[in-house]
Structure 1
Amino acid sequence: MGFLDIKRATKSYGAVKVLHETDISIEEGEFLVLVGPSGCGKSTLLNMIAGLEEVSSGDIAIRGRSMNGVKPAERNIAMVFQSYALYPNMTVRGNIAFGMEMHGIPKPERERKIGEVAQLLQIEPLLDRKPGQLSGGQRQRVAMGRALTRDPDVFLFDEPLSNLDAKLRVDMRTEIKKLHQKLGTTIVYVTHDQIEALTLSTRIAVMYGGHVQQLGTPKEIYDNPANMFVAGFMGSPSMNLFPAKVTGHEGRPAAEIRLGDGSLARLPFAQGFEGQEGREIMLGIRPEAITDRDGADRNARALQVIDARVEVTEPAGSDIFVVSQMGGRDVTGRFRADVPVRAGEHFPFAINMDKAVAFDPKTEMRIS
């Protein structure tokens, strides 16, 4: 039994089921991120944990106590919203203190907690300002400070950074991670941003269509996606997915692919697929496993260099993304920035098949 247990939980609105049977067990101190596109059920699940939505069937328990029928105020949870939800007529100090006042905490204790969270979040100079005088990042810190004074069993974050600009989102990600490492709190965090999910979490639940597609550590999700949806959703740029056929090459099973110029290339697998010649698969390879020859992993067991036509180059500072056609689809490789690669020319692509995964094109589930 975990610290927070979600057991066969579902949510329906009339005949429409928006969350199918969901099982997740969260240990104390974990940082679980629920990630997926809009409408996948992640916010619905968070609201069910908070008590803002009733569970249609199944159970949600915190510290072994079922939360079914328990009011939000009695669950000992704290929630940080996307919209900050600050009172505009109150100062920062008043916003942080408000919840404590409602719970009858004496003023000396309130002031002590306000001082602690203000120092922790570096908002001490802002205590006498009102929300309208703060930047988006400052408002988010105040919203977090208000939640921290609660000393809850579980913190719930509902897309807290989506209203911030790109640089501020990166800064706030770092602050939230530092906060979790310092306090060791249990956090459930909802986002549609897979980079947030990978950088913040100890575990990730990837959701789509009301189902948890995969639950695992960031490394497990990134390196070993359970299906084509997870492979394509997680990572930036996302995993390359393109059709191939299992064949033989120099006595080893290999993936045969058609390049943009019509020629065929064979990529030997690092392992597996013996006796499966002729099988159609979807091959999945991350951009960093498709690179220039000198930038390739020297320890790779199954490194294959193929000559392919460059369709597009996309300089990105420290790297250059190079697009070619494989299996009739655009495939992106990550090259070193100083590699002299040009659109319209042929260039050697080094492909690390140690990092390749394969999926069944019909079921879209991983097969190796």
Structure 2
Amino acid sequence: MASLTIDKLTKSFGVVDVLKGIDLEIEDGGFLVLVGPSGCGKSTLLNCIAGLEKISSGEVRIGDRNVEGLHPSKRDIAMVFQSYALYPNMTVRGNISFGMEIRGIDKAEREKAIEEVADILQIGELLDRKPSQLSGGQRQRVAMGRALVRHPQVFLFDEPLSNLDAKLRVDMRTEIKRLHQRMGTTIVYVTHDQIEALTLATKIAVLEAGYLQQFGTPDEIYNDPANMFVADFMGSPSMNLIDGMLDQGQEGLEVRIKGHGGSEIALPAPDTAAMRERLGKPVVFGIRPEAMTDPDGADRTSPRIETRDCYIEVSQPAGSDTFALTPLGGKECIARFRADAKIQLGSFSPISFNMTKAVFFDPETTLRIR
């Protein structure tokens, strides 16, 4: 096992800058998830760590060793691909042991390693089957087993679950989480699925257009987003980003938000120096759907619950919850109600806002107002 440090890394393809000054560090035994939309540079960054792409500038260090210029086989890493990349003519046993054979490891040691990973991944009964006889989830376990037997310092996963159906993805996330807890090996994991990122990571790096937008724990990324991109990208449903005007109210600063049919609500805003600089100017009020709920479902431990009447246009039952859509700031905002909450469509109903969960952004820079 080893820590991983990425220092001022850039990568260009001709005149196109794909990665622009990436700084990251994950501790020994950490689980780093690189997340972002398609084309943001996350797979390119993973390939730079692996040595499959040569970086333009900066450093990649595994432990205390700068691995730039080293062949992938010399970096002490193991990679699990989206496509599984199994040899179709070999059994599961052969696929797992092939790399060990190439390295000249004797048969007894190979068999011991195979039995160990088969036990960890629960694929003992599959060892004599060919890949064509396996399900997608079983193939992914075999690909992980082939990586595990190498005992690398760092595991690299490139969207390993994207070919699986929704339920199997959830099951495999649990398996990968359990595997990390058991093995304690440093993992770098690429995904475009932000729920996957929040579920698995000890640290998340959010990328967009080649820039690192935010790096932090899942809690920091979700509850303390650095900008509007992170706030909108992370979470399902995503954060409500509501246009409002910062004003001086009778009891302090407040954000005034237009509602349905010319109605308006005012909610208290934090009285900080940065907020006072925007007095009388537009702001973007950010709040997660679960922090907008029916009064009976509001967080009773929160000291700052504000209840306002809002017009309910649509309700969407979702089993354990009901999502209510209300127009605020010229947008359809989502509130998460209890499943049995009574909702009167086409009328004004009370919605409780947990203001301890509220954040504010500058609409011009899109950055958080602290």
Q: Match of 2:228, as an amino acid?
A: M
Q: Which of 320, 334, 337 is 1:335 aligned to?
A: 337
Q: Which of 305, 319, 322 is 1:320 aligned to?
A: 322
Q: Following TM superposition, by how much is the alpha carbon of 1:299 offset from its aligned partner in structure 2, in angstroms?
A: 2.6
Give the direction of change, closer, same or farther, for the CA distance of 1:293–1:271 in structure 2 (3 Å limit): farther
Q: Following TM superposition, by how much is the alpha carbon of 1:341 offset from its aligned partner in structure 2, in angstroms?
A: 0.6
Is residue 246 of structure 1 aligned with residue 246 of structure 2? yes
Distance 1:306 1:133 in 2: 58
Is the Cα–Cα contact under 8 Å of residues 284 and 356 in structure 1 kept in the other structure?
yes
Distance 1:326 1:66 in 2: 51
Is the Cα–Cα contact under 8 Å of residues 261 and 309 in structure 1 kept in the other structure?
no
Distance 2:271 2:224 in 1: 15
Distance 1:284 1:185 in 2: 36
Is the Cα–Cα contact under 8 Å of residues 315 and 325 in structure 2 kept in the other structure?
yes
- RMSD (Å), alpha carbons: 1.1
Is residue 201 of structure 1 aligned with residue 192 of structure 2? no
Question: After the TM superposition, which residues 45-84 of structure 1 pair with which residues of structure 2 at under 5 Å, given as runs?
Answer: 45-84=45-84
Is the Cα–Cα contact under 8 Å of residues 33 and 201 in structure 2 kept in the other structure?
yes
TM score, norm. by length of structure 1: 0.98
- Residue by residue over 1:141-160, the C-alpha shift from the partner in whole angstroms, topping out at 9 and shown as x without a partner, is 00000000000010000000
Question: After the TM superposition, which residues 184-263 of structure 1 pair with which residues of structure 2 at under 5 Å, given as runs?
Answer: 184-263=184-263
Identity over the aligned pairs, expressed in percent? 61
Distance 1:281 1:253 in 2: 12
Q: Match of 1:89, as an amino acid?
A: N
- Residue by residue over 1:193-234, the C-alpha shift from the partner in whole angstroms, topping out at 9 and shown as x without a partner, is 000000100000000000110000000000100000000000
Distance 1:67 1:26 in 2: 16
Distance 2:72 2:5 in 1: 17
Q: Match of 1:208, as an amino acid?
A: E
Question: After the TM superposition, which residues 103-252 of structure 1 pair with which residues of structure 2 at under 5 Å, given as runs?
Answer: 103-252=103-252
In structure 2, the partner of 1:288 is 290
Is the Cα–Cα contact under 8 Å of residues 92 and 128 in structure 1 kept in the other structure?
yes
Distance 1:275 1:86 in 2: 59
Distance 1:276 1:118 in 2: 60
Is residue 98 of structure 1 aligned with residue 98 of structure 2? yes
In structure 2, the partner of 1:8 is 8
Distance 2:303 2:266 in 1: 15
Q: Which of 345, 363, 367 is 1:365 aligned to?
A: 367
Q: Following TM superposition, by how much is the alpha carbon of 1:5 offset from its aligned partner in structure 2, in angstroms?
A: 1.2
Q: Following TM superposition, by how much is the alpha carbon of 1:346 offset from its aligned partner in structure 2, in angstroms?
A: 1.7
Unaligned runs of 5+ in 2: none
Distance 1:132 1:242 in 2: 50
User: Tell me, what secondary structure is at the counterpart of 2:49?
Assistant: helix
Is the Cα–Cα contact under 8 Å of residues 304 and 351 in structure 1 kept in the other structure?
yes
Which piece of structure 1 moves more, 184-193 or 339-348?
339-348
Q: Match of 2:186, as an amino acid?
A: T
Distance 1:145 1:158 in 2: 15
Is the Cα–Cα contact under 8 Å of residues 270 and 301 in structure 1 kept in the other structure?
no
User: Tell me, what secondary structure is at the counterpart of 1:105?
Assistant: coil
Q: Which of 305, 308, 312 is 1:306 aligned to?
A: 308
- Residue by residue over 1:275-330, the C-alpha shift from the partner in whole angstroms, topping out at 9 and shown as x without a partner, is 75312101100000000011111232222111111111111101001110000001
Distance 2:319 2:249 in 1: 37
Is the Cα–Cα contact under 8 Å of residues 12 and 18 in structure 1 kept in the other structure?
yes
Q: Following TM superposition, by how much is the alpha carbon of 1:271 offset from its aligned partner in structure 2, in angstroms?
A: 4.8
Q: Following TM superposition, by how much is the alpha carbon of 1:248 offset from its aligned partner in structure 2, in angstroms?
A: 3.0
Q: Match of 2:37, as an amino acid?
A: P
TM score, norm. by length of structure 2: 0.97
Q: Match of 2:344, as an amino acid?
A: R
Is the Cα–Cα contact under 8 Å of residues 19 and 45 in structure 1 kept in the other structure?
yes
Is the Cα–Cα contact under 8 Å of residues 269 and 302 in structure 1 kept in the other structure?
no
In structure 1, the partner of 2:17 is 17
Distance 1:347 1:250 in 2: 25
Distance 1:135 1:342 in 2: 46
Q: Following TM superposition, by how much is the alpha carbon of 1:250 offset from its aligned partner in structure 2, in angstroms?
A: 3.4
Question: After the TM superposition, which residues 33-52 of structure 1 pair with which residues of structure 2 at under 5 Å, given as runs?
Answer: 33-52=33-52
Which piece of structure 1 moves more, 255-264 or 234-243?
255-264
Distance 1:214 1:275 in 2: 24
User: Tell me, what secondary structure is at the counterpart of 1:362?
Assistant: coil
User: Tell me, what secondary structure is at the counterpart of 1:85?
Assistant: coil
